[in-house]
Structure formats: C-alpha cells, structure tokens
A and B are shown apart, each in its own frame.
Chain A
C-alpha cells in the first residue's frame, strides 16, 4: 500500500485512483479464485459425462452378469465384482479391528513416551508412502513369503489343511488373502487417524462418569467410549474402504490377474454355497481379479471397442464408490443430528 497523496483529480497515484485500481484488482482476484474452484466441478462433470457417453449401450445386464471375454461385445465384469466383494470383506476383517484397536490404544491407554511418539510420527509417514510400495511389500511378504517355503525354500510344507479339501497354501501366492492383507496395511493409517479423531471427540466427562461408577478402563471403553465414537469411526472406515475399492497398483503388484473367467471359490450363486459349503473356505485362497484391474486390462487392449467396455466398467466402479460416499455422508449427518452432548 502506498501512502495516499491528497490531490483533486483521480490522476495516477492519487487516492481515488488507488481505490478504483484496488477494487478492480480485488474483483479480478475473486473471479480468478472462483473460476479455479468451479473448474474442478467442470472437470468432474466432463469426466462423468464423457465416461457415461462412451459406456452408453455397453453397460447392460449381460455386462454385469458375464465373465471377461476376448470379444468386446461379450466381455463382462462379474469376476471383478465378486473378486472386489471378497477382497473388501476380508480387508475389513483385518483392517478394522487392528485399526480401531491401535486408535484406542493411542487415545485411551498411551502415555506420552518415546514409543508413542514414534508410532505417531510413523503413522504420518506411512500415509505418504506410495501405494505401489505396499504392493511390493505384499508381493514379498504375503505372495512369496521371502521364498521360505516350496521347492528351494527352507521349509517343505505344501500347506495347512483347513476344512474339507481346503488348504491354506504356503506361501499365500497370488490369492485374495495376499491382496486383502496388502490393502489392509495400506488403509490402516487412514482408519487409525479417523478413529483417533472420533475417539478424541468423545468428551472426557463420559469416561470420568463411567470410571467413577467403578467400571474398569476396558468396560468404560467398550460400553461408553466406543459406542459414542461409532459414527465417526464408521465414516472413516467407509471412506478408507472406498479407497481400497478403487486401489489398483498394489493389486497389480501382488499379481491379481488381468484376464480371469471365474469367481473366487467358483461361487457365482448362493446355490453353489449350499451344495458345497467348503467353497466359502476355499475362496480366500483362490486367484482373483478386481474391478479396477479389469478396467486397466480393457484400457490396455488394442481393439478400440474395448474402450467402451472399460468405460462401462468405470461407470460400475464409480456407482459403487458414490454409494459408499453417500453412506458415509449419511452416517455423519445422522450422528450430528443425534448428538447426545
């Protein structure tokens, strides 16, 4: 800002000139900011419209209910849909208990010592690790298990028998379980941070009241703190899950296959489960594909019709993610309405 010099006419350098100039500058800047912000909206609209336009006529019942094919008009997403479902269910089974457990420890038990500080800093750094690095971790630790088992390995074990003819293969190989474990590690920091925030939002008075009534620490957490923090935790978990759902790179690394014509455990209908319950146990140890990987595979195909198949796959993926996000928003909204303190 320059010092105003009192003159009558709005000549350059005068107060009046400064003011109009300042106002114009201000308007220009505001427009620039608004255009930048709304351009993201424009990008989103263009993306959705162009993808839907390409998918038009390709996304039909046949696409949802058939397996992949070398012929674009017969290709379907069923293997990916079922694979993604298995993947997500098992990922939730691993990541949610561990993630919430870690958050409870950090918020409710941990004292401010070196170990806690290391864990906190480490969480911030883990969140910034590229997802493909988790893929390499999964490939080495879960898929190959450092080459400890098998022909050249130290241990010659075929696998651990489980139930019926189902065995846990050692190493896990390129199976659903390897993928789910890798994804669990990937989304763990997200879940822990979200759960920590939810736990922090529970007022201490609630804990004090419970402890004053003679409840133990765990009873307080189990019956008071966790139920109160549940909506916040749920929101975080759903968002983390939707991230896992669209994640591609780590699963390509651990070797989810690009061309798959079967569902994990060959379970394509409930009938199969009734006829052969052991298939439920076999499924996690089966090879698999997921929706994003199928899309990736179709994008890479030379035939140009496959871009329409890929677009149809993207629409399916986006619909699932939108539903998940909507669910998260709904949970957040409902909990804000029913807030008890």
Chain B
C-alpha cells in the first residue's frame, strides 16, 4: 500500500484509536451499571427473588408494609409497618427545611443582589467549607452541643419533656447542612436572571427590595424550587447525623422533642448488629432502602422536571 493512499484500511494505529474509544465508552457505562446495580440489588431482595429464596414482599404483604404503624423487626412479635420510619424521616426533613430553606434562599439573595465582590469572596469559601464538613461531625454537634445547651434549657423551662436523643437537634443540623446547597443552587438561578430586568425595575422607581422580591425571585422561581427539592431529597437521605442525634426508637410521632428513627438510621442500626443474610430482618433492609431510594429519586426527577418545564427563557 502506498503511503499516500486515502483508502480506509486496517492499521495498528487505527485499531488502537478504536480500542481507546471503546474503553472510554466502557468507563462512561460504569455509571449506567451502577444505577442498574442499585435497582437490581434493591428489587432482587425485596420484590422478586430466585425461587428457593423468598423476597421481603413475598413474606410480608406490601399492604402491611405501607400502611402498618408499628415497626418492630427486632422483637419476637415482628411488625413491619414502615410508616413510623417514614414519619420520622419527614419530621426531620421538615425541621431541616424550616431551618435551611429560608436561610439558604436569603443568603442566596444577599450574595447575588447585595454583596460586594469582596464579601462574596469571603462568604463563598465559608459555604464551601460548611458543605464539606462530614456528617458525623454534625451528629456530634447536635448530640453534645445543640441538645444540652440549646434545646434542653429552652424547652425544659417551658415545661416540655426533652429526650436526650431528639428529632429537633437532628433536624436543625441537617438544616444547617443543606444551607450551602440551597444557597449556591439558588444563587446560580438568581444570577441567571438578566440585568435588564433589574434595571427596568429600578427605572420604575423600585427599591432594591422591590426588585429582589418582586422581580428577580419570581423570575428565578423554577431554579429555586428545584434547589429546594434537591435539598429536601438530601435531608431525607441524610444518615449519620440523624443516626447519632435522633436516636433509635421507631415511634409514630410529630413531637420534635421525642426520639425518632428514620429510614436511614434503621438501615445503619441493622448493619451494626450481626444480622445474618437471608433472615427477614436482613431483607427488610432492602425494602426500606428501596423505599428511600424511590422517594429521593422521585424528588430528583421532579426537581429536574421543574427546572426544565418552568424555566423562563430570556434572550
């Protein structure tokens, strides 16, 4: 073959290029494999199983699982009603949202509308550090600092009973944890609002408050809602802080001063004990995890949908 031939032909170099492209594609497929793996693992232990084995929902009826109000897999009289765990999870996520969402959105407004570049250059790294603090540290903070020095004195003088492990302290730290996420995602959304909109507002004689609250925030609404949904999903999936600070009693309560158990802390609790594979207790792990995974997945997809569907497009 002459070196000037333009025919595509097999050469070692071309084969090498092909091989590289294929191996890079395989790398990209690892992420698909991960998702497939998660779904398969969760479904295989809880919904279907290979015949000699029995899946969780073949031993416990889904009706009992989703409507039962008693969760006691470790007792002789086993009950598998997931509602207490779901209730605990959403109690803590609710407190976290009450703490984290307002602070997050207000600081996003501050960073995008009011702060000077210098202030931004100080605040942004602080938020990054806050976002990088491991969740065990927040658990310690809730258990040894927030409960004894904040919650106990206040609510005891008001005449309430406060448990050493309580949902409120866990909710507060999870709220602190989601502030950086809400703040940075919402700030991105606020900054994407074009300047002309703000200037039009000022030209009409509005104050900065009017412009921020009545022009910029509504214009960035989809991005803000998306960030809220992501943050709540994060709060629902939060594990260590909740395990440490909220305790391990699966009770159906909305009292934030009581000890509750979340889906995540149940999973941790079972895995700490020596639960042999194949027992119903072990399989309940997968059922609870499937439940948790579905909830967070729905919230994530919803957040992406809101982002796409309701985004205002400016040119």
Q: Which chain A residues lie closer than 8 Å to B106 at the CB level?
A: 32-33, 36-37
Q: Among residues 39 to 53 in chain B, which have CB atoms less than 8 Å away from a CB atom of chain A? A: 41-42, 45
- By the criterion CB–CB under 8 Å, are B103 and A98 in contact? no
Q: Report how far A239 CA is from B132 CA in the complex, Å.
A: 8
Which residue of B has the minimal Cβ distance to A98?
Answer: B27
Q: Which chain A residues lie closer than 8 Å to B154 at the CB level?
A: none
**Minimum C-beta distance from A222 to chain B (A):** 9
Which residue of B has the minimal Cβ distance to A308?
Answer: B144
Which residue of A has the minimal Cβ distance to B293?
Answer: A133
- Residue B292 is within 8 A (CB to CB) of chain A in the complex: yes
- By the criterion CB–CB under 8 Å, are A119 and B28 in contact? yes
- Residue A147 is within 8 A (CB to CB) of chain B in the complex: yes
- Residue A132 is within 8 A (CB to CB) of chain B in the complex: yes
Q: Report how far A328 CA is from B105 CA in the complex, Å.
A: 27
User: Main SS of chain B's interface residues?
Assistant: helix
Q: Report how far A273 CA is from B85 CA in the complex, Å.
A: 48
- By the criterion CB–CB under 8 Å, are A36 and B103 in contact? yes
- By the criterion CB–CB under 8 Å, are A44 and B129 in contact? yes
Contact (A39, B268) CB under 8 Å given A101-B28, A124-B304, A137-B38: no
- Bin the interface of chain A by size: 35 or more
B110: contacting residue among A37, A252, A318, CB under 8 A: A37
Q: Report how far A43 CA is from B174 CA in the complex, Å.
A: 13
Q: Report how far A243 CA is from B244 CA in the complex, Å.
A: 19
Q: Which chain B residues lie closer than 8 Å to A119 at the CB level?
A: 28-29, 31-32
Contact (A37, B111) CB under 8 Å given A131-B237, A136-B267: yes
Q: Which chain A residues lie closer than 8 Å to B204 at the CB level?
A: 1
- By the criterion CB–CB under 8 Å, are A299 and B264 in contact? no
- Residue B17 is within 8 A (CB to CB) of chain A in the complex: yes
- Residue A269 is within 8 A (CB to CB) of chain B in the complex: no
Q: Which chain B residues lie closer than 8 Å to A253 at the CB level?
A: 267-268, 271
- Residue B200 is within 8 A (CB to CB) of chain A in the complex: no
- Residue B117 is within 8 A (CB to CB) of chain A in the complex: no
Q: Which chain B residues lie closer than 8 Å to A307 at the CB level?
A: 140, 144
**Minimum C-beta distance from A308 to chain B (A):** 10
Q: Report how far A39 CA is from B272 CA in the complex, Å.
A: 36
Q: Which chain A residues lie closer than 8 Å to B180 at the CB level?
A: 40
- Bin the interface of chain B by size: 35 or more
**Minimum C-beta distance from A109 to chain B (A):** 6
Contact (A292, B134) CB under 8 Å given A109-B25, A124-B300, A252-B272: yes
Which residue of A has the minimal Cβ distance to B138?
Answer: A47
A325: contacting residue among B128, B234, B285, CB under 8 A: B128
**Minimum C-beta distance from B231 to chain A (A):** 11
Q: Report how far A140 CA is from B32 CA in the complex, Å.
A: 18
Q: Report how far A295 CA is from B135 CA in the complex, Å.
A: 11
Q: Among residues 89 to 134 in chain A, which have CB atoms less than 8 Å away from a CB atom of chain B? A: 97-99, 101-102, 104-106, 109-110, 118-119, 121-126, 128-134
- Residue B212 is within 8 A (CB to CB) of chain A in the complex: yes
- By the criterion CB–CB under 8 Å, are A123 and B137 in contact? no
Q: Report how far A200 CA is from B292 CA in the complex, Å.
A: 34
- Residue B35 is within 8 A (CB to CB) of chain A in the complex: yes
Q: Among residues 182 to 210 in chain A, which have CB atoms less than 8 Å away from a CB atom of chain B? A: 185, 188-189, 192
Contact (A247, B130) CB under 8 Å given A26-B209, A130-B236, A329-B125: no
- List 11 additional A-B contacts (Cβ < 8 Å) besides A29-B208, A43-B130, A310-B140: A23-B207, A29-B213, A33-B107, A40-B176, A118-B32, A128-B234, A132-B268, A216-B13, A296-B244, A299-B139, A325-B132
Q: What are 29 A-B pairs with beta-carbon distances under 8 A?
A: A1-B205, A25-B207, A28-B209, A32-B106, A36-B106, A37-B107, A37-B111, A37-B115, A40-B107, A50-B141, A54-B144, A97-B27, A102-B28, A123-B31, A124-B304, A128-B233, A128-B296, A130-B292, A131-B239, A132-B267, A132-B289, A133-B237, A218-B20, A239-B132, A295-B140, A300-B244, A307-B140, A318-B133, A318-B137
Q: Which residues of B contact A (CB under 8 A)?
A: 13, 16-17, 20-21, 23-32, 34-35, 37-38, 41-42, 45, 102-103, 106-107, 109-111, 113-115, 123, 125-130, 132-137, 139-141, 143-145, 176, 179-180, 183, 204-210, 212-213, 230, 233-234, 236-240, 244, 264, 267-268, 271-272, 277, 285-286, 289, 292-293, 296-297, 299-301, 304
